Chain A
Amino acid sequence: MESTTEQPRNISGSMQSPRSPSSQPYLSVSVTDPVKLGNGVQAYISYRVITKTNLPDYQGPEKIVIRRYSDFVWLRDRLFEKYKGIFIPPLPEKSAVEKFRFSAEFIEMRRAALDIFVNRIALHPELQHSEDLRTFLQADEETMDRFRFQETGIFKKPADLMQMFRDVQSKVSDAVLGKEKPVEETTADYEKLKHYIFELENHLAEAQKHAYRLVKRHRELGQSLLDFGKAVKLLGACEGEPTGKAFSDLGTKSELLSIKLQKEAQQVLMNFEEPLKDYVRYVQSIKATIAERGTAFKQHCELAETTKLKEINLDKLMLTRSDKVGEAEIEYREIKAESEEATRRFERIVKRMEEEIVRFQEQKTEEMGVAFHQFAKGQARLANSVADAWRSLLPKLEASSTV
């Protein structure tokens, strides 16, 4: 049932094509075929998500499901909850405004971004084993809808809710423990990392802003060349030969180049500006992870404190041979277990982040390299077409003026 319109990328593990002997485990996903459904405010886009795999947990070798943007959001939120410390790949913005316009370019860019999103997850050594991923890739639409509604429904995102809850929790325990200042990690390396991430976001945002403007400039230049070409042709119609013909040729070339500029504008948007935006989103995702780590650290600290207090209390009670010892001991053990759990959670985050940072840097170098390369090629191609187009006029112009 080879019905795919796109060649799915084989990413996980081996570089062999899906058709090779499936001794190597592989998981290959693609997001394709965007289709606009519904009307007006309710309109949305659905995508075909095609999974090709030989992994045992999956209904192999191929499964196709229909998903919409909010399903992707569900997946990301679930992963964010469950895999703290991992930089969850970012999603393109919801963009309520663009939705109404639903231009072909917007749809394509979104599709590409979603494709990258899922593939990054499928490529990630830990995330690729996620149950939620399996649900996302395999569940039928009804089931998916149910899952999604449970989580997102009319309420806020679970992540938001949890965060609110934790904030309240931490404020309470602050008061209980008589602490005013927030508890934060102060290791030099981590401080450096945090500073780096926050600064990086600023720099990237600026670069992305200019990249976006550059796209606009291409479009504007294209438009002005078009208008210029038309005007010049009209002027040529007023003049006798050879000037008239020369103007006409000039105008035609101008109009031709206008089209090339519009095309390049789109390329710059897709291959240069979008990766930069993605970079910014990634950094924001890291910031969310940093926040998670902060929360986990606080919990770990507070529970450790509380455990200590309980221990001291228990010792006191034991000394006074109070009959409350039993109760206190149970409480102490419970708290201790919680504290150890919190510490484990925190340390797992720390470990994950260490690995993630390395991956992130390498990934970004690769992705940016590709983006730069494509941008440079595009600009060179454009400039060469411009040169060729104008150059072709010169012999004629030369001939005309020596007449």
Chain B
Amino acid sequence: MMGSENDEESHLHSSKEDMEKLFLREDGDPLTKSNVNGDKSNSNYRSAMSTLFDSRHPSIVVTPADSDPLFAPPSYYSESRSPRSKPNGGDRVSSYLEPPSYADVIFSPFDDISEINGSEDGHSQSSDSLSRSPSSLSSDYIKITVSNPQKEQEATNSMIPGGSTYITYQITTRTNLSDYGGSEFSVRRRFRDIVTLADRLAESYRGFCIPPRPDKSVVESQVMQKQEFVEQRRVALEKYLRRLVAHPVIRNSDELKVFLQAQGKLPLATSTDVASRMLDGAVKLPKQLFGEGGGASSVEVVQPGRGGRDFLRMFKELRQSVSNDWGGSKPPVVEEDKEFLEKKEKMYDLEQQIINASQQAESLVKAQQDMGETMGELGLAFIKLTKFENEEAVFNSQRARANDMKNLATSAVKASRFYRELNSQTVKHLDTLHDYLGLMMAVQGAFADRSSALLTVQTLLSELSSLEARAEKLEVASSKVFGGDKSRIKKIEELKETIKVTEDSKNVAIREYEQIKENNWSEVERLDRERRADFLNMMKGFVANQVGYAEKIANVWTKVAEETRQYDRESS
């Protein structure tokens, strides 16, 4: 059914356009005239708007609007102002309260040009990044663009014909931060590099709400057209990187800097090397088992055993988290911090509600979309009727009716356009909800870091206590042997060494845990603040948008009501 509708539409488009021109130009359509109310647009903004249409929310099908010649983007945006391109929040306040109506301004609070920086006072949003709450007025900025996907061949397989290929993307950074070498530079990266970056960040920034990286989505790559898939991935990568640089702490990370700047192969330890890391761990295993050597260093210890470095501990922690204790070891992670538990639950609730709201937002967008489409189709049907009546007219009554139909049709088409514009704006506003779903995942990640750090501490504590118990037993046994028990004494000494190392590890782990707790806390605080501000902005944008377009639509229909005034039969 979609197919036939599309055919119909495309067939109608050309005649539609003609009819449009025929009907709309006559009326001096304000939409095609240049704006009377002060054209504050700039060509940058217009081109930005058109690029924004590309990076739309993938689950929302807005294709008819895109390909619809009626839509004619440039002329509309000549009417729009972008209050949000100004860094000063004061301007924005006045734009909302400006009399007499919002109909003069098509609100378009998303300016792709606005930079992600400290000077933004949170009102500016691009479709690809979250706005930031009011902060200091520094003027540093960093902007990332992902573009230019290209197919490349696996170097190692170049000997073998038809070796595996992969896609690389050009990642361009524009910045004035002093940490970076230049003001604009590009590197080529493949998706695997993103995974590496994400993994390294996860290790280095435990406890932080790190934006989640795009999915690997193997299934989708089979189902979608290659081009579509690549484009979707490009968009997702861009979004991800922009979120990373928007994070006040992560933007300064070495890993990110290296990722953005280092030419050639990404000089970060890859995540795919699990096998060899397991091997490393296995090599150390005998030493650990027999208490020789330092085993893992203290630093390595604080990483969760899952990392594969400490094979033995990983095993222990796994056992613990499965909570199938078979005597001896302490109970699994007990989070006693009530405040934390409450917060965790609150976050969970919040996530559920955001999911729900996001879904309903999608339904709303679809309904608005459909309304616009059907209104347009209705207008078109009446345009055809008008033509028909005019061609076949024998009586004046027919001509009069044709004229009435023309007025109706013209307005219906205009209203249809307004609905669709309204909708594309709505999408961008309500996308904030969707963005925050990603962030909620980041919060989960941060909380998980905390739990696993606590698990590490508790594991070490229990290890320590069992080592000490063993040492004590040996001492008791040794003291019973007259004249000293050489072998036992030796063992006791070795144990005491291990205990010391474990003690150190425990202290490091505790410090790490405390640090993570702090990170959690500050991140959650920051997130709460930003989220509230972002949501408020979202609402403001959404509502202002609705007002603006409702006014425009009202005007369109009021005109028709005027034109058909003679048919008013109500006594009121």
Residues of chain A having any CB pair with chain B under 8 Å: 192, 195-196, 199-200, 203-204, 206-207, 209-211, 213-214, 216-218, 220-221, 223-225, 227-228, 230-232, 234-235, 237-240, 242-243, 246-247, 250, 357-358, 361-362, 364-366, 368-370, 372-373, 375-377, 379-380, 383-384, 386-387, 390-391, 393-395, 397-398, 400-402
Contacts and interface: CB of A to CB of B under 8 A. Distances in A.
Nearest to B402: A365
Interface residues of B, number: 73
Contacts of B535: 239, 243, 246-247
A375 B567 CA distance: 11
A70 to B, nearest CB: 31
B127 to A, nearest CB: 20
B481 interface: no
B254 to A, nearest CB: 35
Contacts of B382: 207
Given A206-B384, A361-B398, 13 more contacts: A203-B381, A207-B378, A221-B371, A232-B360, A358-B397, A364-B397, A365-B400, A373-B561, A373-B564, A379-B557, A390-B544, A397-B536, A397-B539
Contacts of B398: 361, 365
A401 B92 CA distance: 11
A398 B97 contact: yes
B361 interface: yes
A235 B388 contact: no
Interface string B530-572: 0111011101101110110011011001101100111111000
B561 A242 contact: no
B572 to A, nearest CB: 11
B350 interface: yes
A365 B401 contact: yes
B357 A203 contact: no
A217 to B, nearest CB: 4
Contacts of A379: 415, 553, 557
B411 interface: yes
A402 B411 CA distance: 39
A397 B385 contact: no
B96 A384 contact: no
27 contacts: A203-B381, A217-B375, A221-B370, A221-B371, A234-B353, A235-B350, A238-B349, A243-B536, A247-B535, A361-B394, A369-B400, A372-B408, A376-B560, A377-B561, A380-B557, A380-B558, A383-B553, A383-B554, A387-B554, A390-B544, A391-B102, A391-B547, A393-B539, A393-B543, A394-B543, A398-B93, A398-B540
A238 B361 contact: no
B368 interface: yes
Main secondary structure of the interface of A (DSSP, over half): helix
Given A217-B367, A250-B539, A398-B540, A239 B532 contact: yes
B397 A228 contact: no
A387 B357 contact: no
B14 interface: no
Given A225-B364, A393-B543, A386 B550 contact: yes
B550 A384 contact: yes
Given A372-B560, A383-B554, A224 B392 contact: no
A240 B560 CA distance: 46
Contacts of B326: none
B296 interface: no
A293 to B, nearest CB: 18
Contacts of A380: 554, 557-558, 561
Contacts of B385: 203-204, 207
A240 B388 CA distance: 60
A380 B412 CA distance: 12
A211 B367 CA distance: 16
B395 A361 contact: yes
Contacts of A398: 93, 96-97, 540
Interface of B: 89, 93, 96-97, 102, 123, 346, 349-350, 353-354, 356-357, 359-361, 363-364, 366-368, 370-371, 374-375, 377-378, 381-382, 384-385, 388, 392, 394-395, 397-398, 400-401, 404-405, 407-408, 411, 415, 528, 531-533, 535-537, 539-540, 542-544, 546-547, 550-551, 553-554, 557-558, 560-561, 564-569
Contacts of A362: 395, 397
Given A207-B378, A231-B353, A383 B532 contact: no
A228 B540 contact: no
B274 to A, nearest CB: 39
A72 B502 CA distance: 98
B540 A224 contact: no
Contact of B346 (A200, A213, A238, A402): A238
A177 B550 CA distance: 69
Contacts of B360: 224, 227-228, 230-232
A217 B374 contact: yes
Contact of A373 (B123, B533, B543, B565): B565
**Closest 5 pairs between A and B when the two form their complex, measured CB to CB:** A383-B554, A387-B550, A369-B567, A376-B560, A380-B557
A214 B382 CA distance: 14
A22 B454 CA distance: 99
A232 B357 contact: yes
A380 B364 CA distance: 21
Contact of B354 (A217, A225, A235, A391): A235
B10 to A, nearest CB: 17
Nearest to B433: A235
B550 A383 contact: yes
A199 B377 CA distance: 19
Given A218-B371, A377-B561, A224 B366 contact: yes
A369 B57 CA distance: 42
